[in-house]
Amino acid sequence: EPEVTQTPSHQVTQMGQEVILRCVPISNHLYFYWYRQILGQKVEFLVSFYNNEISEKSEIFDDQFSVERPDGSNFTLKIRSTKLEDSAMYFCASSFLTRNTGELFFGEGSRLTVL
Amino acid sequence: AQSVTQPDIHITVSEGASLELRCNYSYGATPYLFWYVQSPGQGLQLLLKYFSGDTLVQGIKGFEAEFKRSQSSFNLRKPSVHWSDAAEYFCAVGARNRDDKIIFGKGTRLHILP
């Protein structure tokens, strides 16, 4: 069964360092998302991506964040200069259909720890 | 904008007992509604979804949910829980008209007593 894969599963970094989280969405999906979950809190929307551009982003997704689909398979989230409060589990998701009509398929997450 | 509330942070039930997890949403029209489950160390898995039609929706693993427009609710139910159902459950809502995103509730952690 096709699945969304994320790497790394866990990354520890120093504050101020750049981090890139990688995701391989399901191959025929068209819409890509990043969500994050701070420990003990709810899953929060960060950004959605379609047709090689951001379609929507939340207020959390400030200038420190960027997303890219550098080739036909990868979808990356970059945090330019990490802060302590960026420590969270980051989930990538993809869907085939648009505007919430399709099921989101989530990866298992990348845990980011900022020291 | 849409929002969703899960009033129970933790729920504990005995194995074999029935389960109901509450979810209330806020949205100006009928939204798209979802329940996701997150097992420890795992990603989110869709249990069921409501788009339109029959307000009682059947999902995987024996779960069902009922959309009640008058109460703005979409409660998740299971007649008899299994120890493997211990997980965190997230209700989520999507807007019909323009947004691409789905908004999640804070989650309800389900504990199962043997």
Query: Across all residues in chain A, what is the average pLDDT?
Result: 89
Distance between CA atoms of residues B109 and B12, nearest Å: 8
Q: Range with the lowest mean pLDDT among B47-51, B54-58, B63-67?
A: B47-51
- Residue A96: band (very low, low, confident or very high) from pLDDT cuts 50, 70, 90: confident
* B contact test, residue of A32, A43, A101, A105 with most B CBs within 10 A: A43
Task: Count CB-CB contacts under 10 A for residue B20.
Answer: 13
Q: What was the pLDDT predicted at A39?
A: 84
The percent of residues above 70 in pLDDT, for chain B, comes to: 93
Q: What percent of chain A has pLDDT over 90?
A: 63
**Above 90 in pLDDT, residue B91?**
yes
User: What's the mean pLDDT in A50-78?
Assistant: 91
**Residue A2 reports pLDDT greater than 90:** no
CB pairs under 8 A between A and B: 64
A31:B99 CB<8 A: no
Give pLDDT tens digits for B5-53: 999 999 999 999 999 999 999 887 778 899 999 988 777 888 998 988 8
* Segment 8-47 of chain A within 8 Å of chain B by CB: 31, 33, 35, 41-45
Cβ of B43 within 8 Å of Cβ of A106? The answer is yes
Respond yes or no on whether the N-terminal peptide bond of residue A70 is cis (omega within 30° of 0). no
Classified as helix, coil or strand, A98 is: coil
Per-residue DSSP letters for B34-82?
Answer: EEEEE-TT--EEEEEEE-SS-SEEE-GGG-EEEEEGGGTEEEEEESS--
Instruction: Say if the Cβ atoms of A100 and B90 lie within 8 Å.
Output: no
- The answer to whether residues B79 and A14 touch, using CB atoms and an 8 Å cutoff, is no
Nearest-angstrom CA–CA distance, A77 and A20: 6
Average pLDDT, chain B: 89
User: What's the pLDDT at A98?
Assistant: 56
**Spatial CA neighbour of B69 closest among B26, B98, B12, B36:** B26
Is pLDDT above 60 for A100? no
Q: Does A68 touch chain B (CB under 8 A)?
A: no
Q: What is the pLDDT of residue B3?
A: 83
Taking contacts as CB-CB distances below 8 angstroms, the residues of chain B near A42 are 90, 104-107
Per-residue pLDDT tens over the stretch A3-43:
899 999 999 999 999 999 999 999 888 889 999 999 878 88
Q: Is residue A112 a contact partner of residue A11, using CB atoms and an 8 Å limit? A: yes
Of B32, B103, B107, Cβ closest to residue A101: B32
Of A35-39, A96-100, B86-90, the one with minimum mean pLDDT is A96-100
Residues of B in contact with A55 (CB under 8 A): 100
